[in-house]
Amino acid sequence: MGCAIKTVKISSIVLNAILALLAVGAIGWIAVNSDTESEEFVIAAYVACAIIVLFAFLGIFAAIRESVCLTATSAVFLLVLAIPQIVSTCMFLHQFEVQSAQQTVELAWQANNMDGLQQKYECCGKTSAQDYVHLRQSIPPSCYADLQQKPEHLFVEGCIEKLQSHYESDKRRFIIVSWVLVAFELLCFVLAVFLAISFRNKQRRMQF
């Protein structure tokens, strides 16, 4: 039995460490892609990931100290954290509409501010470089790889198609990361409950 508890204790420490690293990685990913999401979503995601990191470290500390109180607290908060995350991910999966690439590109086109989009997403025009040709405008350098205005360096895809694909990929990545975090949270919760019970039983045996 003692060997089993030790194994679970080590597993709990390792899984909580992985959970913390995943949350830190998620924070980094959100920071890189913050321009494609609403400010409210970004703030909520930062707060959620920061809380995950906090309680992952609490779980590590509790397991090392073999504290019944801290281990139980860690278990409760991991469960409390996982439940709304499951709900929000399911809502995001079924109800969230991917940001409209057409609206983003149209705004940039009307403001004559396509250069940044074209270089970042390696695209040209709204649907293709022909958008400039039809308006009897020269194709801008930003439509070319490394700004080299050669036919072989011209970006073929239009920005609406390229951005929509990018937004869809972002949604899929978010859902995958969210479910992975939930899985680790629930696993750490189960281990924390087992450890809390084991530590309590150990304390009782030591009293006799």
Please report, as a single letter, which amino acid is at residue 86.
I
Q: Residue ranges per domain, the chain?
A: 3-100+175-207, 101-160
pLDDT at residue number 201: 82
With contact defined as beta carbons under 8 Å apart, do 192 and 67 qualify?
no
pLDDT at residue number 21: 93
- pLDDT, the chain, mean: 85
Choice between 5 and 73, residue whose per-residue pLDDT is larger: 73
Q: Residues 149-183: pLDDT tens digits? A: 898 999 999 999 998 888 888 778 888 888 888 99
Report the percent of the chain where pLDDT is more than 90.
27
Report the percent of the chain where pLDDT is more than 70.
92
CB atoms within 10 A of CB 206: 7
pLDDT higher than threshold 80 for residue 13: yes
DSSP-derived letter for residue 138 is P
pLDDT higher than threshold 80 for residue 33: no
- Domain at 101-160: CATH code: 1.10.1450.10
DSSP-derived letter for residue 1 is -
Six-digit token string for 110:
């009307």
Q: ∠47-51-72 over CA atoms, to 5°? A: 155
Q: Which residues contact 126 (CB under 8 A, 6 or more apart)?
A: 105, 106, 109, 158, 159, 160
Q: What is the pTM of this model?
A: 0.71
pLDDT at residue number 81: 87
